[in-house]
Structure formats: C-alpha cells, structure tokens
C-alpha cells in the first residue's frame, strides 16, 4: 500500500503504541493522521504537533470508541475534512489489573467496561470506516495482545477481549475482502509510560527485567517495535486475516 498522501485514523493515538504508529505514518508520507483520544488531550495535541513537524497534517479528535455515535461522527468528520480515509488502526484499549484466580472481582461492570472499549469499540470503528475504506481499497490493523493467545495478562476479561479481537480480525478480513485488508498485531509486554504508571516505577522495572531475561531477544518491546509491525501490514498488499506476535520470541519459550 502506498501511504503517500493517505489519511489515517489511529484510536488511542496520542500515547504509547498509538503515538508511535501515528508518527510512523507521518514518516511514511501520510497526508493526515487523526489522533483519537478519550482522556489524554494534552498528549494527543503534542502528538499532532510532532506530526506537523514531520510534514503531515492532523488533528486530535476526542471520541470514546465505546460510543458508536461518537465513532461515526469521527469518521464522518475525517472524510469531510480530508476527503478520504485509507487506514484505520484500532489501538484504543483499557484493562483492569485483577488476579486470574479472583473470579469474584470480575464483576459485570468490569466485563462491560473492558469489552465495550476493547472489543465493541474496535468493531464500531471498523464498521463505521468500512464504506470509505472499501472505496479506497484501504487497510485496518487491530492491536490485540499476547494475552489473546495465552492465559496471561492483566486480567481474564482483558485476555478474553483480546482473543475476541483476533477472531474479529479474521472474520472482518473475509467480510471486507477483497477491497479492505484486516490484520492484527499482538504485543507482549510493552515498555510504555502507561505501564509504569499503572503498576509503579519499581514494579515496572522489575517486570521488564524479568521478562527480558526470559525472552530470546533479551528485551521487552517498545512502542516503536509495535508500530513497525503495524506498518509492515500496511505495506504488504497480499496479507489479510493474520496476527503477528510482537514479543521478542517470548511466546516460544512458554
């Protein structure tokens, strides 16, 4: 796919993996990147400023992907402003840190919050963007997780939501073919500011050290590693319905 002059929406595009993807798109020649956010307005605006510095257009758009009407409005505004939509990267996601053995902590509220954003939000974005992506022969990349493959991750609900994204990716690859390619990246532990804030600097450092020691490539993923995987799917015109694990080979050592 030729990204020169393309227009992309990146959900959760102002921080972590989303920001790395937004910047990678700009470096690849994207004409505009819509940086979606729900709470991190300052981060989204900083990302847009960096996109402009890299030679791309863009703007920050506040929308909760869990609200279909907000998603449809975001897509419509993007097409109205830039005249097209070529790429959708579904990166927005949430979790709760709950021990896998603590089943009682998986309340209905927890399930609803996680599935509404991670799974239903991904679907809402894909459905809203599908008509324009079809007309442009565009591409979708969903951000899943190793927790979708293994009984690991921050909570059972999170892992289930990411496993569902992997299956959603396969189904949409068929449903939107041949015009739209749909793939997914599945990171393991990623060294992000969000992770450090969620668990604390000390625990994050310990976790990254332990994971690095148990990983063939002796490191944990960076947001840029994940963005590189996303870009690989965008550039390859003959791959759809696939999921790429980005964990330095950790999954082969389980």
Counting Cα atoms < 13 Å in the Cβ hemisphere of 161 gives 27
Of 37, 82, 124, 158, catalytic? 158
What is the number of other CB atoms lying within 10 angstroms of the CB of residue 69?
11
254 is a catalytic site residue: no
8 A C-beta contact, residue 135 and residue 86: no
The token duo for 240 is 């759809």
Could you give the residue numbers annotated as active site? Answer: 158
């Amino acid at each position: 796919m030729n990204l020169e002059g393309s227009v992309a929406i990146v959900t959760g595009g102002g921080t972590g993996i989303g920001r790395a993807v937004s910047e990678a798109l700009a470096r690849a020649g994207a004409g505009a990147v819509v940086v979606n956010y729900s709470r991190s307005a300052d981060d989204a605006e900083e990302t847009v400023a960096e996109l402009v510095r890299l030679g791309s257009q863009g703007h920050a758009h506040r929308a909760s992907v869990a609200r279909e009407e907000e998603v449809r409005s975001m897509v419509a505004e993007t097409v109205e402003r830039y005249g097209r939509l070529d790429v959708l990267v579904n990166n927005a996601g949430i979790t709760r840190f709950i021990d896998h053995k603590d089943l009682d902590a998986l309340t209905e509220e927890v399930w609803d919050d996680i599935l509404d954003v991670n799974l239903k939000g991904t679907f809402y974005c894909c459905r809203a963007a599908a008509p324009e992506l079809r007309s442009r022969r565009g591409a979708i990349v969903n951000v899943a997780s190793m927790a979708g493959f293994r009984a690991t991750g921050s909570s059972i609900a999170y892992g289930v939501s990411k496993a569902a994204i992997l299956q959603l990716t396969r189904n949409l690859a068929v449903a939107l073919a041949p015009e739209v390619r749909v793939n997914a990246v599945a990171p393991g532990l990623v060294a992000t500011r969000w992770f450090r804030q969620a668990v604390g600097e000390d625990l994050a450092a310990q976790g990254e050290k332990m994971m690095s020691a148990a990983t063939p490539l002796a490191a944990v993923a960076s947001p840029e590693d994940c963005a590189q995987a996303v870009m690989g799917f965008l550039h390859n015109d003959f791959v759809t319905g696939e999921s790429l694990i980005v964990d330095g080979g950790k999954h082969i050592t389980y």
